[in-house]
Structure 1
Amino acid sequence: MAKDNCILGGLGRRASKKEIKTDQDSVQNPSVWDRDQCLFASLGQKLSRSEKKRNDIRNAASEIFITQGFEAASMDKIAALAGVSKRTVYSHFGSKEELFAHVITNFCDLKREELDVKPDHELPLKECLVKLGTKFLHMLHYHGSVSLFRILISQAETDPSHGIEFMNTGPKISRELLATYLEEKIAAGEIAVDDPLEAAQSFYSMLFGARYLTCLVTGAPPPSPEEIDTIVDSTVERFIYGLKVTKEP
């Protein structure tokens, strides 16, 4: 299954109600997941037997970590779900910590590909930001993201290395991508921004908002597609208002 069928918004569009409903079901009922269609799907390329086992292990680990948490996860459970021996798991990943680090890194790599805004000078600034914001919020609220963030928070005091890895491979690079895009808009004379990187940080911070924190700490349901549209539209309007727009798009 193609990656953009695994991750909502991968095509740079708003997700349909049917897609969101399917995704909500997968989060609430992990048994509907197909490991070959989750974060580490092989994307169609032919894998060697060893590579397939490695993928199966990472897929199983992703599911176990997200549904049971880091502490409750064990190499025995991961091996059973992957259909391999525990010895095989250890031959690919030296420890549970190493395997979890791989889950985080691959998660961030795939999400970063989704959020890679490629400047289109024929596309107005507002429309670009709406696309980016919509993809970002769908990523943030679905596909196990909330569960993964909770795990990172729970590990922060005892082992912050996973959280640091996540920040460096996920949010940091996403901010830099948006900052580069804003720099191109500055060069084109469309906006005037003193610090594009700070502006990019502000945009993502505005998207998080109070709604995400509520979902993260209370288990409240994620926003509907219509609510996401409203959040994004409002955020983009406020963000652009804070920029020094030098000419109409």
Structure 2
Amino acid sequence: MRTKSEARRDAILGVALEVFREVGFDAASMSQISARVGGSKATLYNYFTSKEELLLEAMLDSAHKHARDVMQLLQIQGDLPSQLHRFVASLLKLIDADETIQVLRVAISVGGTTDIGRRFYELGTHEVWLTIGDVLREEIDKGTLAKADPDMMATHLRCLCEAELIRNLLGAREPASDQEIGRKAQCIVDVFLKVYGKPA
């Protein structure tokens, strides 16, 4: 059962991420966040030592929640192409979301002056793809994928999935329908399996 302290921390993380997305890291203040949460700055500092720590924890919390949702799609029983399609389509939808784009822009904005961007990459997104590598390793052992470096396979799959990320970050995004996302996901899976799928 969750404690009041844990619930309070989660509420702070959710509100903080909203503020950072809306106004950016530099313009956001602990006072602004505490006012929206309902409390004092002292309350925030009881949970987080600095605005930098709060930003990192808020981004990681959001990333881990999304990662769990996306990763669960690989655990659903079915043939590998179907599992990959579900995973890729869900990931493409996440990458195309306004919230994701805004959070990544904030992370990039502080990347040159703090280690927040690097730590977010290492503790958030990178860990997910290491897990994908483990999943692909299991498929290699089962004989459903060709023998190759599973971590490199995961990197190639990631590159295919994130092909339009720069475009989105630069504001040239064209929101995709579910049908378009499904079509793109199928193309990515087809390309990936053409390289790494085991010949029948």
Q: TM-score, normalised by structure 2?
A: 0.90
Q: Quote the residue 2:196 is aligned against.
A: 243
Residues 1:146 and 2:101 aligned together: yes
Q: 1:144-163: CA deviations, max 9, x gaps?
A: 1110101111111111x211
Q: In structure 2, do the counterparts of structure 1 residues 181 and 46 end up closer, same or farther at CA, with 3 Å as the change threshold?
A: closer
1:232 counterpart SS class: helix
Residues 1:231 and 2:187 aligned together: no
Q: Quote the residue 1:112 is aligned against.
A: 67
Q: Quote the residue 1:82 is aligned against.
A: 37
Read off the aligned partner of 2:159 and give its amino acid letter. S
2:49 counterpart SS class: coil
- Return the alpha-carbon distance in structure 1 between the equivalents of residues 194 and 70 of structure 2: 23
- Return the alpha-carbon distance in structure 2 between the equivalents of residues 119 and 147 of structure 1: 29
Equivalence map 1:101-180=2 (5 Å)? 101-117=56-72, 118-119=74-75, 123-142=78-97, 144-159=99-114, 161-180=115-134
Unaligned runs of 5+ in 1: 1-44
- Return the alpha-carbon distance in structure 2 between the equivalents of residues 46 and 183 of structure 1: 35
**1:105, 1:165 within 8 Å by CA — same for their partners in 2?**
no
**1:119, 1:181 within 8 Å by CA — same for their partners in 2?**
no
**1:190, 1:246 within 8 Å by CA — same for their partners in 2?**
no
Q: 1:155-176: CA deviations, max 9, x gaps?
A: 11111x2111221122222222
Give, in angstroms, the shift of residue 143 of structure 1: 5.9
- Return the alpha-carbon distance in structure 2 between the equivalents of residues 72 and 59 of structure 1: 17
Q: Quote the residue 1:197 is aligned against.
A: 151
**1:112, 1:173 within 8 Å by CA — same for their partners in 2?**
no
Equivalence map 1:23-34=2 (5 Å)? none
**1:186, 1:193 within 8 Å by CA — same for their partners in 2?**
yes
Equivalence map 1:6-21=2 (5 Å)? none
Q: In structure 2, do the counterparts of structure 1 residues 245 and 61 end up closer, same or farther at CA, with 3 Å as the change threshold?
A: same
Q: In structure 2, do the counterparts of structure 1 residues 191 and 222 end up closer, same or farther at CA, with 3 Å as the change threshold?
A: same
Give, in angstroms, the shift of residue 77 of structure 1: 0.6
Tell me which protein shows more helix as a share of its residues. 2
- Return the alpha-carbon distance in structure 1 between the equivalents of residues 91 and 56 of structure 2: 22
- Return the alpha-carbon distance in structure 2 between the equivalents of residues 154 and 111 of structure 1: 22
Q: TM-score, normalised by structure 1?
A: 0.74
Give, in angstroms, the shift of residue 191 of structure 1: 1.9
- Return the alpha-carbon distance in structure 1 between the equivalents of residues 120 and 109 of structure 2: 14
Q: Quote the residue 2:138 is aligned against.
A: 184
Percent identity (aligned): 26
Read off the aligned partner of 1:181 and give its amino acid letter. V
Aligned length: 199
Q: 1:54-104: CA deviations, max 9, x gaps?
A: 233222101101111111110111011001112212222121011111112
Q: Quote the residue 2:3 is aligned against.
A: 47
**1:109, 1:170 within 8 Å by CA — same for their partners in 2?**
yes
CA RMSD of aligned residues (A): 1.9
Q: Quote the residue 1:208 is aligned against.
A: 162
